[in-house]
Structure 1
Amino acid sequence: MRKYLLWFLLIIILVIRVIYFYKNQPSYPDGTRIRITSRISSEPIRYSSSQFLKLQGFKIYLPSYPEVYYGDQIAVDGTVKDGELKDPKLVGVKESKIFLYSIREQLIDFYQKNLPQPHSSLIAGVTIGSKASIPKDFWEALKKTGTAHVVVASGMNVTLVSQFLISFLALLFPRRRAIPMALMGVWSYAILSGFDAPIIRASIMGSLVFVAQEIGRLNFSLRALFMTAFAMLFVKPDWLTDIGFMLSFAATLSLILFEPKVDRFFKKIPAIIRKDFSTSLAAQVGVVPILYFGFGQFNVLSPVINAMVLWTIVPITIIGMVGGILGLIFEPVGRAVLLLVYPLTSWFVWILRIFN
C-alpha cells in the first residue's frame, strides 16, 4: 500500500510541476520579434544551404555559415511564426570550452575524413549520436524503413559503455570504487553523445542499475524506467511533447513487457535471427502508434528490416569507438581499425536500398 501511495504522490508532484512549467512559459504571438539566447543542447542538422536546430521550443533554420556546434552558446534574432523563428539572424556565438564537446567534433571529423558517405554518417550516428551530416536521401531511407532509431546513439550504446567500464575497472579497483568511476564514464559518454532524451534515459537507468547492484536489488526494470521518466520530466517538462522522448520510453517499456513473450513465441526460429527479430517486433508494439500519429508513416516490414541490420550495430559501435579514439591519438592506426567497419556499414546501406 505504501509503494502505491508513493507513486501517487510522485504523479501529483509531476502534474503540478508540468502545469507550473507551462503556465509560466512566455507566449509570443505570430509576428513578434524576439531574441533567443541559449546553449545548443543537440547537434544541428546541416543541409546544403542551412543548418537546423531547436532552441527553447522554436524551430530555427540558420544560414549554413558560420557553423554552430553542439554546446555553443548562441544568440538568435527572429520573427515568431507557427512555432518557427523566421528570418533568423545569428547575433552572437560563444564557443563551448568543454573538453568533451571538442572531442566529439574531432571524432566526427575523423569519421568523415576516413569513410565515404553515407558510411561516415552512419558510424558517427551509431557511435556518438551525430545526425548533422546524414545525407537527406539516406535519412529518408532510414525513416521509410523504420531504422532511423538505430543510427542515433541510444540506450544500447550506454549499455555497451557501462558494461565495458565496469568490467575493466573491476579488474583494477574494488567494486565499490569501480562503480562510481563507471558512473562518471557513463555520464561523460552521455555528454559526448549529444545528451538527447534516449541517452539521458539510458544513463539514468544505467546509474540506477549500478546502484541496485551495489545494494543487491536487480529486479526493478519497470520501476527504474518510471523513476527515470519522473526525473527527466521534472527537470525538463517540455519533453512531455517530445517525439524522441515518447519513442524512447515506449520502446523501452515494450521491450520490458513484451520481448520475453515474443521471443518464446518464435522459439523455433534460430537464435541468431530470433533475438534481433524479437527485440525489434516487441519495440514496435509501443512505437507504432507514435510513428503513425507523429509522422503519418509506418513500414509493416520494419521488424524484418530491423532484424537484418540490428546485428551490425554492436560491432559498428565497438569498432567505431575504438577506431575513433585510436585515430585521435595516432591517425594511421585508427584509420586501419575503422576500415574494419566498412563491410558492416555496406551491408546496412545495401539492405536499406533494397527495401527503400
Structure 2
Amino acid sequence: MVIITLWLGVLKTTKPPIWAENWRNFLVMRVERWLPGDEGALAAGMLWGGDNGLSRQTKESYRRVGLLHIIAASGYNVTLVAGWILSASLIWLSRRWALGMTIGGVIMYMLVAGWQPSIIRAGIMSILAMLGLILGRERDAKWLLIITGAMMLAWNWQLISDIGFQLSFAATLGILTLLNTSPLHPSPIIGEGTRGRGIFDVLVADLKTTLAAQAMTTPLILHHFGNLSVISPLVNAVLLWTVPLIMQITAVGLVIGPVNYLAWPLLKLQTWVVNSVASWPISNWEVGKMSWLWVGMYYLVLAICIKFWPWRQRVSG
C-alpha cells in the first residue's frame, strides 16, 4: 500500500519525471528508426502510448472507426506487459518472486508510459491483484475496480470530470459486468488462451469484449462528443488481434532492431483497413450530444437488464 500511495502522489503533478520522459523518447526513436512514417508512430503508440508522429489523416481515420484507443497507453497495454513479465519471470523465479518482479515492471511501465487515468487504473488494479496473490487472498476484479477508483478520487477528486477516467472505468466495468470476465489477465503470450481455438472463435471473443465495453461507454461518448462509430465493434474484432503481436515484435525490436521489420506487414494491414473503412458514411455517426439526464436513464435501464435478464451467462459463454 505504501508503494501505491506514493505512486498516487504523482497524480497531482502535471508531467512525468524527466528521466522517464527521456527514456520514453529514446525508446520511441528506437522504434521509429526501423519503422519510419505512420507505421513507426503506430508501433510506438501501441507500445508506449501517444500519437506523436502520426499523420493527421491517419489519426482522423483511427478516430472515425473507433480504434484510436490502441495508440493510447491504456489498461490493455498494462495487462499485456504484466502478463509478459510474469510469464518470463516464472521461468526462473518462484511464484511469489515472479509476482514481485511483475509489480516492479508494471510500476516502471506506468512511469515511462505516463499516468493517464487508464494507465493508473489498470496499473493499480494489477498491483492489487498480484499483492492479493502473494498474500494468498482471492482477488475480485469488481472490488479491485471500486477500490482503485476510490483511491484515485480520494487523492485527486478532479479526476471525476476527466473524460479518460470516465471512459476507462466504464469500459472495464462493462467487460466485468456484461461478460463476467476479468480484463486483468488476458493472454500474455502469443497463442496462449487461443490454442485449440479457430480464428472465428478469437474474432467472436474480441467482438464480445468490444461490444461489452462500448455498451457501457456509448452514453459517455455521446455526452462528450456527440458522435458514435457504428462500425467500431466490427473493426475492433477484425484488427484487435494484431495489437499484441505488434507490441511483442516491437518490444523485442528495442533490443534487436531488425526484428521491427516483422511488424511492418501487420501495421500496413491495419492502416489499410482503417483508412478504407473510415471513408464509409456509417463509420462515424453524428447524433448530437446527450444530456446527463439521458445518460443516467441509459445506465438505469442497463442496470435493470444486467440484474434481471438471464442472457449474461450465454454471452460470456
TM-score (norm. length: structure 1):
0.67
Q: Does 1:228 align with 2:148?
A: yes
The counterpart of 2:62, out of the listed 117, 142, 155, is 142
Number of equivalent positions: 251
* CA displacement 1:84-114 (0-9 Å, x = unmatched): xxxxxxxxxxxx2x2x332211111122222
Q: In the aligned structure 2, how far is the partner of 1:164 from the partner of 1:303?
A: 26
1:39, distance to aligned residue in structure 2 (A):
5.7
RMSD of Structure 2 on Structure 1 (CA): 2.0
Letter in 2 for 1:321: A
Q: In the aligned structure 2, how far is the partner of 1:184 from the partner of 1:270?
A: 36
Q: In the aligned structure 2, how far is the partner of 1:140 from the partner of 1:120?
A: 17
Q: What percentage of aligned pairs have identical amino acids?
A: 32
* CA displacement 1:48-92 (0-9 Å, x = unmatched): xxxxxxxxxxxxxxxxxxxxxx64xxxxxxxxxxxxxxxxxxxxx
| Pair 1:39–1:220, CA change in 2 (3 A) | closer
Q: In the aligned structure 1, how far is the partner of 2:218 from the partner of 2:28?
A: 31
1:129, distance to aligned residue in structure 2 (A):
0.8
| Aligned position for 1:196 | 116
Q: Does 1:154 align with 2:74?
A: yes
Structure with the bigger RCO (C-alpha within 8 Å, sep 6+) is 2
Which structure has more strand as a fraction of its residues? 1
The counterpart of 1:164, out of the listed 84, 93, 100, is 84
| Aligned position for 1:285 | 215
Letter in 2 for 1:345: L
Q: Does 1:215 align with 2:145?
A: no
| Aligned position for 2:173 | 253
Q: In the aligned structure 2, how far is the partner of 1:145 from the partner of 1:255?
A: 20
Consecutive unaligned residues of structure 1, counting only runs of 5 or more, are 1-37, 42-69, 72-95, 262-268, 327-332
Largest Rg, 1 or 2 = 1
Q: Does 1:339 align with 2:261?
A: yes
| Aligned position for 2:30 | 110
Q: Does 1:317 align with 2:239?
A: no
Letter in 2 for 1:161: V
Q: In the aligned structure 2, how far is the partner of 1:153 from the partner of 1:216?
A: 30
Is the CA contact (8 Å cut-off) linking 2:133 and 2:139 kept in structure 1?
no
TM-score (norm. length: structure 2):
0.74
Q: Secondary structure at the match of 1:270?
A: helix
Is the CA contact (8 Å cut-off) linking 1:144 and 1:297 kept in structure 2?
no
Q: Secondary structure at the match of 1:340?
A: helix
* CA displacement 1:319-339 (0-9 Å, x = unmatched): 111112x1xxxxxx31x1001
| Aligned position for 1:125 | 45
Is the CA contact (8 Å cut-off) linking 1:145 and 1:352 kept in structure 2?
yes
| Aligned position for 1:348 | 270
Q: In the aligned structure 2, how far is the partner of 1:207 from the partner of 1:147?
A: 27
1:175, distance to aligned residue in structure 2 (A):
2.5
Consecutive unaligned residues of structure 2, counting only runs of 5 or more, are 1-11, 182-198, 279-317
Which structure has more helix as a fraction of its residues? 2
